[in-house]
Protein backbone atom coordinates (compact mmCIF):
# COMPACT_ATOMS: atom_id res chain seq x y z
CA UNK A 1 0.00 0.00 0.00
CA UNK A 2 1.23 3.51 -0.87
CA UNK A 3 0.41 6.06 1.86
CA UNK A 4 0.90 9.67 0.74
CA UNK A 5 1.04 11.03 4.33
CA UNK A 6 4.04 8.90 5.20
CA UNK A 7 6.20 11.36 3.31
CA UNK A 8 5.29 14.90 4.44
CA UNK A 9 4.49 17.10 1.42
CA UNK A 10 2.12 19.86 0.31
CA UNK A 11 -0.51 17.08 -0.03
CA UNK A 12 -0.79 17.19 3.79
CA UNK A 13 -2.18 20.73 3.46
CA UNK A 14 -4.93 19.48 1.14
CA UNK A 15 -5.77 16.56 3.42
CA UNK A 16 -5.80 18.88 6.47
CA UNK A 17 -8.24 21.24 4.72
CA UNK A 18 -10.50 18.32 3.77
CA UNK A 19 -10.63 17.25 7.42
CA UNK A 20 -10.83 20.70 9.04
CA UNK A 21 -14.35 21.51 10.24
CA UNK A 22 -13.58 25.23 9.79
CA UNK A 23 -12.54 24.84 6.13
CA UNK A 24 -14.45 21.88 4.71
CA UNK A 25 -17.83 23.73 4.60
CA UNK A 26 -16.42 25.67 1.62
CA UNK A 27 -17.80 23.19 -0.93
CA UNK A 28 -15.75 24.44 -3.86
CA UNK A 29 -12.49 24.19 -1.86
CA UNK A 30 -13.49 20.74 -0.61
CA UNK A 31 -14.07 19.46 -4.17
CA UNK A 32 -10.89 21.14 -5.41
CA UNK A 33 -8.82 19.53 -2.65
CA UNK A 34 -10.19 16.11 -3.63
CA UNK A 35 -9.33 16.94 -7.24
CA UNK A 36 -5.79 17.89 -6.19
CA UNK A 37 -5.36 14.57 -4.37
CA UNK A 38 -6.63 12.84 -7.51
CA UNK A 39 -3.95 14.67 -9.50
CA UNK A 40 -1.15 13.80 -7.06
CA UNK A 41 -2.14 10.15 -6.78
CA UNK A 42 -2.54 9.90 -10.57
CA UNK A 43 1.08 11.01 -10.84
CA UNK A 44 2.16 8.41 -8.26
CA UNK A 45 0.25 5.59 -10.03
CA UNK A 46 1.70 6.71 -13.37
CA UNK A 47 5.14 5.62 -12.13
CA UNK A 48 3.97 1.98 -12.24
CA UNK A 49 3.02 1.96 -15.95
CA UNK A 50 5.28 0.52 -18.67
CA UNK A 51 7.25 3.11 -20.66
CA UNK A 52 9.11 2.82 -23.95
CA UNK A 53 11.45 5.39 -25.52
CA UNK A 54 9.84 7.49 -28.27
CA UNK A 55 11.44 10.03 -30.54
CA UNK A 56 9.81 13.48 -30.45
CA UNK A 57 10.49 16.04 -33.16
CA UNK A 58 11.25 19.45 -31.67
CA UNK A 59 11.80 22.57 -33.83
CA UNK A 60 15.57 22.01 -33.38
CA UNK A 61 16.02 18.23 -33.44
CA UNK A 62 14.87 14.93 -31.97
CA UNK A 63 14.30 14.35 -28.24
CA UNK A 64 14.01 10.86 -26.81
CA UNK A 65 11.24 10.60 -24.19
CA UNK A 66 9.98 7.49 -22.35
CA UNK A 67 6.21 7.36 -22.92
CA UNK A 68 3.49 4.91 -21.97
CA UNK A 69 1.11 3.25 -24.42
CA UNK A 70 -0.78 1.57 -21.61
CA UNK A 71 -4.54 1.96 -21.97
CA UNK A 72 -6.00 3.40 -18.79
CA UNK A 73 -9.59 3.28 -17.59
CA UNK A 74 -10.45 5.69 -14.76
CA UNK A 75 -13.40 4.44 -12.75
CA UNK A 76 -15.24 6.09 -9.91
CA UNK A 77 -18.11 5.53 -7.54
CA UNK A 78 -21.01 8.01 -7.64
CA UNK A 79 -21.27 10.47 -6.24
CA UNK A 80 -18.43 11.36 -3.84
CA UNK A 81 -15.82 9.96 -6.25
CA UNK A 82 -16.45 12.56 -8.96
CA UNK A 83 -13.93 15.26 -7.86
CA UNK A 84 -11.04 12.77 -7.47
CA UNK A 85 -11.99 11.26 -10.82
CA UNK A 86 -11.81 14.71 -12.43
CA UNK A 87 -8.38 15.26 -10.87
CA UNK A 88 -7.13 11.96 -12.30
CA UNK A 89 -8.52 12.93 -15.73
CA UNK A 90 -6.36 16.08 -15.61
CA UNK A 91 -3.29 13.80 -15.87
CA UNK A 92 -4.61 10.71 -17.68
CA UNK A 93 -6.28 12.91 -20.25
CA UNK A 94 -6.69 10.15 -22.87
CA UNK A 95 -8.18 7.64 -20.43
CA UNK A 96 -11.59 6.09 -20.84
CA UNK A 97 -13.98 6.46 -17.89
CA UNK A 98 -16.24 4.09 -15.99
CA UNK A 99 -18.92 5.05 -13.47
CA UNK A 100 -20.58 2.89 -10.83
CA UNK A 101 -23.29 3.86 -8.38
CA UNK A 102 -22.56 2.10 -5.11
CA UNK A 103 -24.38 3.85 -2.32
CA UNK A 104 -25.34 3.17 1.26
CA UNK A 105 -29.07 2.57 1.66
CA UNK A 106 -29.82 3.36 5.32
CA UNK A 107 -32.48 1.54 7.35
CA UNK A 108 -34.47 2.96 10.29
CA UNK A 109 -32.41 0.90 12.80
CA UNK A 110 -29.21 2.65 11.66
CA UNK A 111 -27.90 -0.29 9.61
CA UNK A 112 -27.32 -0.02 5.86
CA UNK A 113 -26.75 -2.11 2.74
CA UNK A 114 -24.60 -1.09 -0.18
CA UNK A 115 -26.46 -1.09 -3.53
CA UNK A 116 -25.05 -1.03 -7.07
CA UNK A 117 -27.78 0.12 -9.46
CA UNK A 118 -25.98 1.85 -12.31
CA UNK A 119 -22.81 1.04 -14.21
CA UNK A 120 -21.26 2.47 -17.35
CA UNK A 121 -17.99 0.79 -18.31
CA UNK A 122 -15.83 0.23 -21.40
CA UNK A 123 -14.18 -3.15 -22.17
CA UNK A 124 -11.48 -3.50 -19.48
CA UNK A 125 -9.55 -6.39 -21.08
CA UNK A 126 -5.79 -5.86 -20.77
CA UNK A 127 -6.17 -2.24 -19.60
CA UNK A 128 -5.04 -0.56 -16.37
CA UNK A 129 -8.07 0.05 -14.18
CA UNK A 130 -7.74 2.89 -11.66
CA UNK A 131 -10.76 3.34 -9.40
CA UNK A 132 -11.01 6.45 -7.22
CA UNK A 133 -13.27 7.11 -4.24
CA UNK A 134 -12.34 9.52 -1.43
CA UNK A 135 -13.46 7.24 1.42
CA UNK A 136 -12.65 3.57 2.05
CA UNK A 137 -14.55 2.88 5.28
CA UNK A 138 -15.73 -0.74 5.50
CA UNK A 139 -14.56 -1.29 1.92
CA UNK A 140 -17.97 -2.75 0.97
CA UNK A 141 -18.73 -0.10 -1.70
CA UNK A 142 -15.29 -0.50 -3.28
CA UNK A 143 -15.29 -4.30 -3.40
CA UNK A 144 -18.86 -4.40 -4.81
CA UNK A 145 -17.99 -1.72 -7.37
CA UNK A 146 -14.86 -3.61 -8.52
CA UNK A 147 -16.85 -6.87 -8.75
CA UNK A 148 -19.37 -5.14 -11.04
CA UNK A 149 -16.60 -3.54 -13.13
CA UNK A 150 -14.83 -6.89 -13.60
CA UNK A 151 -17.91 -8.18 -15.47
CA UNK A 152 -16.59 -5.95 -18.30
CA UNK A 153 -13.29 -7.78 -18.85
CA UNK A 154 -10.09 -8.67 -17.00
CA UNK A 155 -7.77 -5.65 -16.62
CA UNK A 156 -3.97 -6.05 -16.64
CA UNK A 157 -3.80 -4.23 -13.29
CA UNK A 158 -6.20 -2.77 -10.73
CA UNK A 159 -5.37 0.33 -8.67
CA UNK A 160 -7.62 1.65 -5.90
CA UNK A 161 -7.10 5.32 -5.05
CA UNK A 162 -8.62 6.91 -1.95
CA UNK A 163 -8.16 10.06 0.15
CA UNK A 164 -8.86 8.59 3.60
CA UNK A 165 -8.98 4.86 4.33
CA UNK A 166 -9.93 3.10 7.56
CA UNK A 167 -7.77 0.18 8.62
CA UNK A 168 -10.89 -2.04 8.41
CA UNK A 169 -11.46 -1.03 4.77
CA UNK A 170 -7.82 -1.64 3.87
CA UNK A 171 -7.94 -5.10 5.46
CA UNK A 172 -11.27 -5.93 3.77
CA UNK A 173 -9.94 -4.96 0.36
CA UNK A 174 -6.65 -6.80 0.83
CA UNK A 175 -8.64 -9.90 1.79
CA UNK A 176 -11.24 -9.93 -1.00
CA UNK A 177 -9.17 -8.27 -3.76
CA UNK A 178 -5.49 -9.12 -3.04
CA UNK A 179 -4.53 -8.30 -6.64
CA UNK A 180 -5.59 -4.63 -6.26
CA UNK A 181 -2.85 -2.06 -5.53
CA UNK A 182 -3.91 0.46 -2.91
CA UNK A 183 -2.98 4.19 -2.96
CA UNK A 184 -4.19 6.26 0.00
CA UNK A 185 -3.88 9.85 1.20
CA UNK A 186 -4.04 8.80 4.86
CA UNK A 187 -5.10 5.85 7.01
CA UNK A 188 -7.29 6.24 10.14
CA UNK A 189 -7.76 3.52 12.73
CA UNK A 190 -11.41 3.75 13.73
CA UNK A 191 -14.96 3.45 12.41
CA UNK A 192 -18.09 4.67 14.23
CA UNK A 193 -21.09 2.36 14.82
CA UNK A 194 -22.49 3.82 11.55
CA UNK A 195 -19.22 3.01 9.75
CA UNK A 196 -17.94 6.56 9.43
CA UNK A 197 -14.17 6.95 9.55
CA UNK A 198 -12.71 8.48 12.76
CA UNK A 199 -11.25 11.07 12.71
CA UNK A 200 -11.92 10.96 8.95
CA UNK A 201 -13.58 14.04 7.51
CA UNK A 202 -17.33 13.39 7.65
CA UNK A 203 -19.51 12.56 4.63
CA UNK A 204 -17.50 13.26 1.50
CA UNK A 205 -20.56 13.16 -0.79
CA UNK A 206 -22.53 15.64 1.32
CA UNK A 207 -19.51 17.93 1.74
CA UNK A 208 -18.98 17.95 -2.04
CA UNK A 209 -22.56 18.27 -3.20
CA UNK A 210 -24.88 18.94 -0.24
CA UNK A 211 -26.94 16.71 2.00
CA UNK A 212 -29.19 14.26 0.21
CA UNK A 213 -32.65 13.19 1.38
CA UNK A 214 -32.32 9.64 2.78
CA UNK A 215 -34.48 7.27 0.67
O1 LIG B 1 -16.29 1.67 2.48
P2 LIG B 1 -17.75 1.89 2.67
O3 LIG B 1 -18.19 1.53 4.06
O4 LIG B 1 -18.57 1.20 1.63
O5 LIG B 1 -18.01 3.46 2.58
C6 LIG B 1 -17.42 4.24 1.59
C7 LIG B 1 -18.43 4.80 0.65
O8 LIG B 1 -19.22 5.79 1.32
C9 LIG B 1 -19.23 6.98 0.54
O10 LIG B 1 -20.26 7.03 -0.37
P11 LIG B 1 -21.80 7.16 0.11
O12 LIG B 1 -22.39 5.79 0.25
O13 LIG B 1 -21.87 8.05 1.28
O14 LIG B 1 -22.50 7.79 -1.15
P15 LIG B 1 -22.40 9.29 -1.72
O16 LIG B 1 -21.19 9.30 -2.59
O17 LIG B 1 -23.65 9.49 -2.50
O18 LIG B 1 -22.28 10.24 -0.56
C19 LIG B 1 -17.87 6.94 -0.11
O20 LIG B 1 -17.75 7.82 -1.17
C21 LIG B 1 -17.72 5.48 -0.48
O22 LIG B 1 -18.28 5.17 -1.73
O1 LIG C 1 -16.43 8.42 6.93
C2 LIG C 1 -17.06 8.15 5.89
C3 LIG C 1 -17.47 6.85 5.57
C4 LIG C 1 -18.15 6.64 4.42
N5 LIG C 1 -18.42 7.66 3.60
C6 LIG C 1 -18.05 8.93 3.89
O7 LIG C 1 -18.31 9.86 3.12
N8 LIG C 1 -17.37 9.15 5.03
MG1 LIG D 1 -22.08 9.91 1.31
The full DSSP string for the chain is -EEGGGS--THHHHHHHHH-TTTTT-HHHHHHHHHHHHHHHHHHHHTTS--EEEEEEETTEEEEEEE----EEEEEEETTTHHHHHHHHHHSTT-EEEEEEEEEEE-TTS-EEEEEEEEE----TTSEEEEE-SEESSSHHHHHHHHHHGGG---SEEEEEEEEEEHHHHHHHHHH-TTSEEEEEEEE-EE-TT--EESS-S-HHHHHH-PPPP-
Ligand 1 pocket by Cβ (under 6 Å): 77, 79-81, 102-104, 114, 133-142, 169, 195, 203-205
Pocket test for ligand 2, best of 166, 202, 206 (most atoms within 8 A of CB): 202
pLDDT band for 105, please (50, 70, 90 cuts).
Answer: confident
Whether the CB-CB separation of 149 and 100 falls below 8 Å is answered with: yes
Q: Which ligand is nearest to the CA of 100?
A: 1
Return the higher-pLDDT residue of 212 and 32. Answer: 32
Angle at 104 between CA 28 and CA 98, to 5 degrees: 65
Please choose, from the candidates 186, 185, 103, 212, the residue with its C-alpha nearest in 3D space to the C-alpha of residue 148.
103
Ligand 2: lining residues by beta carbon, under 6 Å: 80, 135, 137, 196-197, 200, 203-205
Average pLDDT, the chain: 96
Which of 78, 112, 113, 135 to probe ligand 2 with, by most ligand atoms within 8 A of CB?
135
Examine residue 199 and say whether the peptide bond preceding it is cis (omega within 30 degrees of 0): yes
pTM value is 0.95
ipTM above 0.95, yes or no: yes
Taking each helix axis from N to C end, the angle separating 167-176 and 140-149, rounded to the nearest 10 degrees, works out to 30
Mutation test residue for ligand 1: of 141, 148, 176, the one with most atoms within 8 Å of CB:
141
pLDDT for the residue numbered 157 = 98
pLDDT at 215: 64
CA 7 to chain centre: 19
| pLDDT tier, 51 (very low <50, low <70, confident <90, very high otherwise) | very high
Three-state SS letters, 181-198: EEEEEEEECEECCCCCEE
Q: Which atom of ligand 1 is nearest to the CA of 205?
A: 18
CATH 3.40.50.2020 corresponds to the domain 2-50+65-209: yes
pLDDT for 214 = 74
Percent of the residues in the chain that have a pLDDT greater than 70, as a whole number: 100
Amino acid sequence: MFNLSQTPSIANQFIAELRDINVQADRMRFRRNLERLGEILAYEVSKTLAYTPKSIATPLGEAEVALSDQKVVLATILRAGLPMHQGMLHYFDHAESAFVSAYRKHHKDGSFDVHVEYISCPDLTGKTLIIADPMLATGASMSLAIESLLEHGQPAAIHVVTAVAATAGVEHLQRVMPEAHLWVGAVDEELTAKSYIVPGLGDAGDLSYGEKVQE
